[in-house]
Amino acid sequence: MDFKSLSFPDAPVIKIQPPGPRSKEYLSFQSAHESSAVSYPRGMPMALSSARGATVEDVDGNVYIDFFGGAGVMNVGHANPKVLEDVSKQLSNLTHSLDFPNEPRKALIDTLFSLFPDPLKRVLFGGPTGSDAVEAAVKLAKYNTHRHPLISFEGAYHGMSSGALSLSSGLSFKEDFLPLIPEVHFAPYAYCYRCAFGKTSESCDLECVKYIEHILEDPHSGVGKPAAIIVEAIQGEGGSIIPPEKFLTGIRKACDKNNVIMIVDEIQAGLGRTGKMFAFEHSGIVPDIITLSKGLGGLGFPISCIAYKEKLDTLPPGKHIGTFRGNVIAYTAGAAALRFMIENNLAEHSFNLGEKMLSWLKDIEKDSSIVGEARGRGLMLGIELVKDKASKEPAPDLAQKVRTICHQHGLLVEIGGHYSNVVRFLPPLVLTEELAKKGIEIFADSIREVDEEQ
Ligand SMILES: Cc1ncc(COP(=O)(O)O)c(C=O)c1O
């Protein structure tokens, strides 16, 4: 399929500097009536009216190239016609099902199982958000091991509900709400640009993996034997961090040796984003439990699930329940989206286009004094901004400026990273090379402008 027809033609179109007058009205209504916790419209002030493919329109008629993708949700593109067709047929039949079986649910499960590696044999649909899936994964691990400690990673983001927040490392998210769940321990992730062990790519001997082995095996590590280690195969909110291939393999081995459950959180990196259907496939391991959400609902319909090995299927009936574990529209959209991904080799497209975009970003890195590192796999890309390339002092203020300039010129981007200094791209996977090029040009201009101000 030619993905070009999925997006608005001629993007970007900036008719009036955002936020335009109609956006301003919505934004002032929002600030008068909604919680002060609202966040995205502060960085990209606008009100939305419609979206197609890899493009988004605001209420003032500005059309943006979307490298944000609704925070990595819109893998098959906004308003994907194949998904919409199935959804509109389903809407008048059945929409809510708790956990009663039905055809769309079966179709989604069938499609997922055609994609999972063999040992993942069971799925559990819980609440609709990614955080719900993380809670379910942790409960399943605890129930099976009768243990409580958990190991997570520096830079991890697993969600906002108490259990998921406990496993997320960002202190600003959690320090006002302590105590959360106890006995969660954090180990350094393979963040090679800022290696916690002071190593370089030449001197690296996978010290981060050795440290995990040490925690698990030294009787004086102070960490009780964990129920599970939870890890993102590629860290998302932590700053699009790509670990060396052997990182996950090493954790898999340490889990096997010490009889610890390995949970891989695929909520952001899964479903084609990194060039494989699941990001753990890059390292050839099979986790014991995976979490899925975001792109699973096709067009942003809320749904999440975990998938796990048969031997873990021990929960008695009713042990993990919830009203919204049966949104039939989300199943319908999810099955249609997965079919679209398979039929159009979307993971491969994501990998190939991502490689091209990364090479353009590497050129920007070379020319700029504020780009410390451009990195990524598939269409999960990150550009880490620094005040100085030698000291690597993080530059969160510059990342904000870059996002503002990009927005004003018709490009939506995300910001993440340990220091909120990583500009992140998570576009719909139906992004075309033409739109990718235009988007990167806007980004390159914004970097140049901010660089020159320094
Ligand atoms: C890796 C990962 N896990 C979990 C979550 C939480 O998902 P949700 O925001 O749907 O609760 C996110 C959200 O960004 C995520 O990126």
- Any idea where the domains of the chain sit in the sequence? 3-66+347-453, 81-343
What pLDDT shows up at residue 454? 87
Q: Could you tell me the distance, in angstroms and rounded to a whole number, from the CA of residue 38 to the centre of ligand 1?
A: 17
Tell me how far CA of residue 2 lies from CA of 72, 344, 349, 431, 434, in angstroms. Answer: 21, 10, 12, 10, 12
Please say whether the beta carbons of 262 and 229 come within 8 A: yes
Tell me how far CA of residue 311 lies from CA of 145, 257, 259, 281, 287, in angstroms. Answer: 12, 17, 13, 21, 13
State which CATH number among 3.30.1330.10, 3.40.309.10, 3.40.640.10, 3.40.50.720 fits the domain covering 81-343: 3.40.640.10
Alpha helices in 231-326 (DSSP H): 245-258
Q: Could you tell me the distance, in angstroms and rounded to a whole number, from the CA of residue 422 to the centre of ligand 1?
A: 17
pLDDT in tens, the chain (454 residues): 899 999 999 999 999 999 999 999 999 999 999 999 999 999 999 999 999 999 999 999 999 999 999 999 999 999 999 999 999 999 999 999 999 999 999 999 999 999 999 999 999 999 999 999 999 999 999 999 999 999 999 999 999 999 999 999 999 999 999 999 999 999 999 999 999 999 999 999 999 999 999 999 999 999 999 999 999 999 999 999 999 989 999 999 999 999 999 999 999 999 999 999 999 999 999 999 999 999 999 999 999 999 999 999 999 999 999 999 989 999 999 999 999 999 999 999 999 999 999 999 999 999 999 999 999 999 999 999 999 999 999 999 999 999 999 999 999 999 999 999 999 999 999 999 999 999 999 999 999 999 999 8
Around ligand 1, the residues with Cβ closer than 6 Å are 71, 129-131, 134, 157-159, 232, 236-237, 265, 267-268, 293
The phi and psi torsions of 31 (rounded to 5 degrees) equal -70, -20
Residue 149 CB-half CA count within 13 A: 12
Task: Specify the DSSP class assigned to residue 315.
Answer: P
What pLDDT shows up at residue 446? 98
Torsion from C-alpha of 317, 290, 346, 243, nearest 10 degrees: 170
What pLDDT shows up at residue 1? 85
Please say whether the beta carbons of 230 and 265 come within 8 A: yes
* 3-66+347-453: CATH architecture: Alpha-Beta Complex (3.90)
What pLDDT shows up at residue 403? 98
What pLDDT shows up at residue 448? 98
Please say whether the beta carbons of 97 and 328 come within 8 A: yes
Pocket probe for ligand 1: among 267, 289, 303, 426, the residue whose CB has the most ligand atoms within 8 Å is 267
Which ligand 1 atom minimizes the distance to the CA of 129? 10
The pair of structure tokens assigned to 147 is: 């243990």
